[in-house]
Amino acid sequence: MTDKNSKASSVLSGPIKGQASAPGDKSISHRAMIFGAMAHGTTTVSGLLEGADIMSTANAMRAFGADITRGDDGIWTVTGCGADGFTSPKGDVDCGNAGTGVRLIMGAASGYPVSARYVGDASLSSRPMGRVTIPLLEMGAGITSDAGDDKLPITVQGRSDLTPISYAPPVASAQVKSCLLLAGLNAKGTTEITESHLTRDHTENMLKAFGATLTQDKRDDGQIIRLSGPQSLSGCHVVVPGDPSSAAFLIIGALIIPGSDVIIKNVMMNPTRTGLFDTLIEMGGFLRTDNFRTSGGEVLADIHVKYSKLTGIVVPPQRAPSMIDEYPVLAVAASFAKGTTVMDGIGELRVKESDRIAASAALLKAIGADVTEMDSGLNVTGSDGAPLPGGATITTHHDHRIAMSALIAGLRCEASVAVDDASMIATSFPSFFALMAELGANITDAGAA
Ligand code: S3P
């Protein structure tokens, strides 16, 4: 990623064809760095997403005392702080654009007697941190924000005798759950988290892989997690699977461009992440999963996608946690479907890297799609497969997923669709341009302006 804005554009494209591997999963990559830094001994990581967000987290973990290196073979080694615990960083902890990074790190560091001031880029500095600082305060951490609000910069003073809490996050958020479980590792007694809707469960799975014990009592759509502290983690080998949220861009590109036929390999099929695939199949998309296998505790598969005539549906709101990052690109698919797609119950999108409800609506309007923005949702009526006019420059608001959604939409537009800044794509999908070019997509990366 560069400091300068970097322009990119796309336009009506012939079919995309071939095979591609999804880049490493962002959620698992963050966790591998953080858990490895807390653990005793050495953690090795293969398939790490080498995106800007993960590099910010790795640097933060180095600042707290972990040793992190990349081998020539692409395997990362994290030598954890173990029994010595974290040490206070010398300067600010810069989490860049990464909400997952900052929220999980705040939780992890709260359980050690260290102080750190967290900062981030313009997007991260506008996102709400109260969802983690309020319960961390209840556990006994000291929290102050420079501006007296719930935004970065925020200083957290941790302690080795945090009080465990029973907490039901008011929003369905894996980041909040994970933050509190990591803090709970060093609190004496049982930390209990009640989720009314199951969110991605990578923290639970990976804590177990690092030797921690916790219980998960599944109830209706949710679960109660109990973790007794203090507990220490032991380093292990982490295999990072392909990111379904990144695969989504390739999948939807193939679904909307006539004649496309693509196989995406190594995609994680964890059911807490695959809501988009169910939705696209219900819309009539040709998606066939094959070659199921287990690696590093997660199920992987290859996904075969072909151009399909899509039909709008009502996306069940309870499915939102399992596809929360995929709505902008789903809105693109919906704008080429027949009929209306209703996406409701997604108010959380307003506090992601950008206000993704507003940004997606603006993107679709700019390319000539029929979209209605609601308080907590979007209704999109599609073109029934016909190309849209395009001919617009989209404001990305430092949001990688808005930038990629716009470039995928442009592949089915008569006139070129540009983005004001493509540099953020490197936060989650540094190989996006190269992969799309290999598949034959008409996307131009003009580089730093
Ligand atoms: C993430 C959880 C989600 C998601 C984010 C990654 C994680 O956020 O949007 O990209 O790795 O835990 P919320 O848990 O806040 O919904």
Question: How much of the chain exceeds pLDDT 70, in percent?
Answer: 98
The answer to whether position 363 is within a domain reads yes
Cα–Cα dist 262/305, whole Å: 5
Segments of 232-328 assigned E as strands:
237-239, 261-268, 286-295, 298-306, 314-315
Average pLDDT, the chain: 96
Interhelix angle 400-410/244-256, rounded to 10 degrees, is 20
Q: Which atom of ligand 1 is nearest to the CA of 30?
A: 11
Share of the chain above pLDDT 90, in %: 96
Q: What was the pLDDT predicted at 3?
A: 41
Q: How far is the CA of 129 from the centre of ligand 1 (A)?
A: 13
The C-alpha atoms of residue 397 and residue 19 are separated, in whole angstroms, by: 31
Within a domain: residue 233?
Answer: no
Q: How confident is the model at residue 1 (pLDDT cuts 50, 70, 90)?
A: very low
Q: What is the mean pLDDT of residues 68-81?
A: 98
Give the model confidence (pLDDT) of 258-283 as tens digits.
999 999 999 999 999 999 999 999 99
- Residue 407 · residue 382 · CB < 8 Å: no
What is the SS3 assignment for 168?
coil
Instruction: Answer whether residue 308 is part of any domain.
Output: yes
| CA–CA gap between residue 371 and residue 369 (Å, rounded) | 6
Instruction: Report the C-alpha gap between 96 and 327 in whole angstroms.
Output: 23
299 band by pLDDT with thresholds 50, 70 and 90: very high
On whether residue 206 sits in a domain, the answer given is yes
9 lines ligand 1 (CB under 6 A): no
- Whether 280 and 184 share a structural domain: no
Q: Which amino acid is at 415?
A: A
Q: What is the pLDDT of residue 175?
A: 98
Find the 320 Cα to ligand 1 centroid distance in Å: 12
Q: Residue 211, exposed/middle/buried by CB under 10 A (0-12, 13-18, 19+)?
A: middle
100 C-alpha to ligand 1 centroid (Å): 6
392 to each of 292, 413, 414, 418, how far by Cα in Å?
41, 10, 11, 6
Give mean pLDDT, residues 297-316.
Answer: 97
Ligand 1 atom nearest the C-alpha of 31 is 11
Question: 220: pLDDT confidence band, cut at 50, 70 and 90?
Answer: confident
Q: Are 377 and 222 contacting, i.e. CB atoms less than 8 angstroms apart? A: no
pLDDT value at residue 4: 54
Same domain, 176 and 300: no
Q: Which residue, of 198, 228, 258, is where some domain finishes?
A: 228
The CATH number for 187's domain is 3.65.10.10
Using most ligand atoms within 8 A of CB, pick from 28, 54, 97, 173 the residue to mutate for ligand 1: 173
Q: Which of 53, 325, 399, 421 is catalytic?
A: 325
Phi, psi (deg, nearest 5) at residue 229: -110, 170
Give the Å distances, CA to CA, from 246 to 56, 204, 255.
19, 22, 15
> Is the C-beta atom of 324 inside 6 A of ligand 1?
yes
Per-residue tokens: 161: 């005798």
State the pLDDT at residue 44: 98
- Classify 66 as helix, strand or coil: coil
Question: What total number of domains does the chain contain?
Answer: 2
Residue 100 and residue 164 in one domain = yes
Full domain range(s) for residue 168: 26-228
Sequence-distant (6+) residues with CB within 8 A of 316 are: none
**297 & 368 share domain:** yes
Amino acid at 29: S
* C-beta 325 within 6 A of ligand 1: yes
The whole-number pLDDT of residue 449 equals 44
Are residues 207 and 179 in contact, defined by beta-carbon separation less than 8 angstroms?
no
- pLDDT score for 185: 98
Predicted local distance difference test score (pLDDT) of residue 446: 78
Q: Which two tokens stand for residue 391?
A: 């001919």
Give the pLDDT band of residue 5 (cuts 50, 70, 90). low
What is the pLDDT at residue 2? 40
Ligand 1 atom 15: the closest Cα is on which residue?
Answer: 173
Q: In whole angstroms, what is the distance from residue 129 CA to residue 375 CA?
A: 21
* Cα–Cα distance list, 181 to 197, 207, 410 (Å): 17, 9, 41
pLDDT in tens, 397-434: 999 999 999 999 999 999 999 999 999 999 999 999 99
- Catalytic-residue membership of 325: yes
β-pair partners for 232: none
- Pick the atom of ligand 1 nearest to 321's CA: 16
pLDDT tier for residue 296 given thresholds of 50, 70 and 90? confident
Q: Which two tokens mark 225?
A: 């997690």
DSSP label of 325: T
Q: Residue 235 domain-assigned?
A: no
Q: Is 2 a domain residue?
A: no
Residues 284 and 341 in one domain: yes
Which protein residue's CA is at the shortest distance from atom 4 of ligand 1? 325
- Tell me, yes or no, whether 342 and 390 share the same domain: yes
- pTM for the model stands at 0.97
Q: What are 346-385's pLDDT values in tens digits?
A: 999 999 999 999 999 999 999 999 999 999 999 999 999 9
